Structure 1
Amino acid sequence: MTCSFIPEVMQKQAPHDPPAQMRLMHAAYAKMAKALKATGRPIVYSLCQYGWDAVWEWAPSVGGNLWRTTSDIEPNMYSIYANMSVQAGLASYSGPGHWNDPDMLEVGNGELTLAENRAHFSMWAMLAAPLLAGNDLPHMKPEIRDILTNRDVIAIDQDKLGKQGSRAYVDGEVEVWTRQLAGGALAVAVLNTGDTRYSTHPFHLYLSRLGLHGPLTARDLWSGKEMALAEGMPLEPRTHEVLLLRIAEPK
């Protein structure tokens, strides 16, 4: 169940008193959580209030299972990237039973390219975000269905360790994110956030900056192929393209 507390109510009950308004909001969410629990039914409780008052710090205490951390997402890479970036630094607040929510998926919407759709889905998986499809499911194209049903990528999102990924380092407009997985495995995402093919040219993947020592073998979760990784290896991700890797035995 998604619950949103209307700002107008807070302003009416506690005009010109932001701290009191926040207390009203916290109390309202706690009251709803109590009512949901009283039903005796398993209900996922989502707090939809756009990250106000650092919601990730208090949402679990009022019974929230997930909470919006951002404004509404739009079907373009700039909005997707903005919502993704807000999650940097919030990994410690996410875990089994309580999740940061950067908003629903826009995969298959607007004029997103296939590369952008894959990047969007990949990064939400890295963030352990709820994968709520926001497109027209009955009429989606086969290539969009293939993205939304990629079992390897979904497995990253649903990994039982439940640790949200973090931004490891940035080189120009290329970002590298990592996520620890159950059993000691590691997911790595290399994302070109720039508007040109070679926003950072050449980009080099430094395993040492990820706490790793090469050479290593990884699996590309979009091509399904094995890939050799070495310290400082050059990569040339295209515009808004992601390379999503799973390293089974990092060292």
Structure 2
Amino acid sequence: MKFGIFMLTIIALFSTGYGWNNGLLLKPPMGWMSWMKYACNIDCKRYPHECIDEQLYKDMIDHLASDGYFEAGYKTVNIDDCWSEHARDPTTSRLVPDRIRFPNGIHSLAQYAHNKQIELGIYSDVGTLTCGGYPGTRDNQGHDYTLIDAQTFSEWEVDSLKLDGCYQEKEMYNVTYPEFTKALAQQKHKIAYACSWPAYLGLVPDDVYKQIRENCNYWRNYGDIVDSWNSVSTIINFYGEHGNQYAKFHGPGGWFDPDMLIIGNDGLSYEQSKTQMAFWCLWSAPLLMSNDLRNIRPEMKEILLNKHLIAIDQDRLGIMGTRVWKTKNYEQSVWAKKLSRDGSGPDPYAIIYYNTNTLGVPSFMSHRLSDIIPNLNTTVNYSVYDLYDDYKKIAELKAHDILTMKVKTSGSVRMVKLVPEV
């Protein structure tokens, strides 16, 4: 078995530019989003604590601000679909928050968040309807509300916008998404821009990703995550197959978004939850939780607040880690990511050993460091720190030495940081 071509040097060269040059999201966003956990539940009579309403978002703002998440870097609460009335205001043509579920409006909710140093995000769609059937940016009569909506969101002082792509022809995305970029650029209040543009296109060529990066701060490019290990593992495999392409366009100001963190819900085991967090941080992906922060198990909260993993995600280089080796049946793989230096000297790295075997006992995985990272410095020792064992030093190795770790089954990982000793 041979290691694939390692792309870290090439990736670093491509990742030094910026996405849409609005000065926002020079590091991946961190926060909370409602969709995976609460979807379009608007039945507040039957589900008073689990429906899309003002109180739900206030609760999440409160917990983000007070339960250690803000200090860890989670700083935004994102409203998703189903927040508005089913029709625009007939006089102003503006979107209107549901008057029963959001009695004080979105601007009031944004002020509530800002008073706690939390940012507020909102959702819309470039098509005639949102995916949930609410008003989109256009209508069937040919009216375009792009500028009106951008003005509205700015006046409401929302801090980010997730713009979906339902009910829109694919050939129009390269027009409608950049139109919203221009509209947002005209507004007084700066708004980070999350696009679903590539998620509706399938496999996307480099020239289109270049355009997407020039217009968006981060973007979804795969189907919606759901509360299951199958969903998470499929996303991991997808990024394994295409990561070398994605990494060329990924970095400060423009990020690939593999979708929400589902840690703390019902679909992942403890080890699988550690795996999702590890990969999202290796990719420098947006860390947007979708769970109930009011009722989360301590061991899951501990994963989400792991400062060592978050530091990997928020590394200033913003390089997307990639798969560098796999077995033919994909049951085991190795991934690596170049990290920024504290000063002069060799580069540090992060490494994941990933084991999806579902039969037998935990497996020892052994690989020579220079096979994982061919351009690793050969003159220094590297201290190996376990990122899930309180940064415990587990080895000190040179480039030609073998890193052996025992990895549990069923989608488990071991994740370490290599720190050069100079």
2:211 to 58, 65, 82: 58
Counterpart of 2:395 in structure 1 is 228
Counterpart of 1:70 in structure 2 is 222
C-alpha contact 1:56 1:100 (8 A) present in aligned 2? no
C-alpha contact 2:385 2:418 (8 A) present in aligned 1? yes
Provide the C-alpha distance between the structure 2 equivalents of 1:244 and 1:124, rounded to a whole number of angstroms: 12
2:300 to 144, 152, 167: 144
Counterpart of 1:194 in structure 2 is 357
Provide the C-alpha distance between the structure 2 equivalents of 1:102 and 1:46, rounded to a whole number of angstroms: 12
Bigger mean CA offset, 113-122 vs 70-79: 70-79
SS at match of 2:168: helix
2:365 aligned partner, one-letter code: F
Provide the C-alpha distance between the structure 2 equivalents of 1:206 and 1:76, rounded to a whole number of angstroms: 33
Cα deviation for residue 215 of structure 1 reads 6.0
Report sequence identity in percent: 27
Counterpart of 1:9 in structure 2 is 168
Cα deviation for residue 235 of structure 1 reads 2.8
Q: State how 1:1-251 maps to structure 2 within 5 Å.
A: 1-6=161-166, 8-10=167-169, 21-22=170-171, 24-49=172-197, 50=199, 52=201, 54=204, 56-61=209-214, 63-87=215-239, 88-89=243-244, 90-171=246-327, 173-183=331-341, 184-198=347-361, 201-210=363-372, 211=374, 212=376, 216-224=382-390, 225-228=392-395, 231-239=401-409, 240-249=411-420
Cα deviation for residue 81 of structure 1 reads 1.8
1:236 aligned partner, one-letter code: K
Q: For the pair shown, which has the larger CA radius of gyration, 1 or 2?
A: 2
Q: Relative to structure 1, is the Cα distance of residues 69 and 250 closer, same or farther in structure 2, using a 3 angstrom cutoff?
A: farther
Provide the C-alpha distance between the structure 1 equivalents of 2:364 and 2:168, rounded to a whole number of angstroms: 53
SS at match of 1:46: strand
Provide the C-alpha distance between the structure 2 equivalents of 1:66 and 1:223, rounded to a whole number of angstroms: 31
Cα deviation for residue 202 of structure 1 reads 4.4
Deviation per residue, 1:197-231 (Å, 9 max, x gap): 558x5432221212245963211011021011553
Provide the C-alpha distance between the structure 2 equivalents of 1:135 and 1:91, rounded to a whole number of angstroms: 28
How big is the alpha-carbon RMSD for the aligned residues of Structure 1 and Structure 2?
Answer: 2.1
Provide the C-alpha distance between the structure 1 equivalents of 2:381 and 2:332, rounded to a whole number of angstroms: 22
Provide the C-alpha distance between the structure 1 equivalents of 2:285 and 2:360, rounded to a whole number of angstroms: 27
C-alpha contact 2:225 2:232 (8 A) present in aligned 1? yes
2:292 aligned partner, one-letter code: D
C-alpha contact 2:384 2:393 (8 A) present in aligned 1? yes
SS at match of 2:366: strand
C-alpha contact 2:350 2:418 (8 A) present in aligned 1? yes
C-alpha contact 1:69 1:86 (8 A) present in aligned 2? no
C-alpha contact 2:165 2:200 (8 A) present in aligned 1? no
Relative contact order, higher structure (CA 8 A, sep 6+) = 2
**Runs of 5+ in structure 1 lacking a partner?**
11-20
C-alpha contact 1:2 1:45 (8 A) present in aligned 2? yes
Cα deviation for residue 250 of structure 1 reads 7.8
Deviation per residue, 1:82-117 (Å, 9 max, x gap): 112322222111010000111111111223111100
Provide the C-alpha distance between the structure 2 equivalents of 1:57 and 1:197, rounded to a whole number of angstroms: 45
**Runs of 5+ in structure 2 lacking a partner?**
1-160, 342-346
TM-score (norm 2): 0.53
1:36 aligned partner, one-letter code: L
2:415 aligned partner, one-letter code: L
C-alpha contact 1:127 1:165 (8 A) present in aligned 2? yes
Q: Relative to structure 1, is the Cα distance of residues 205 and 215 closer, same or farther in structure 2, using a 3 angstrom cutoff?
A: farther
Provide the C-alpha distance between the structure 1 equivalents of 2:309 and 2:189, rounded to a whole number of angstroms: 30
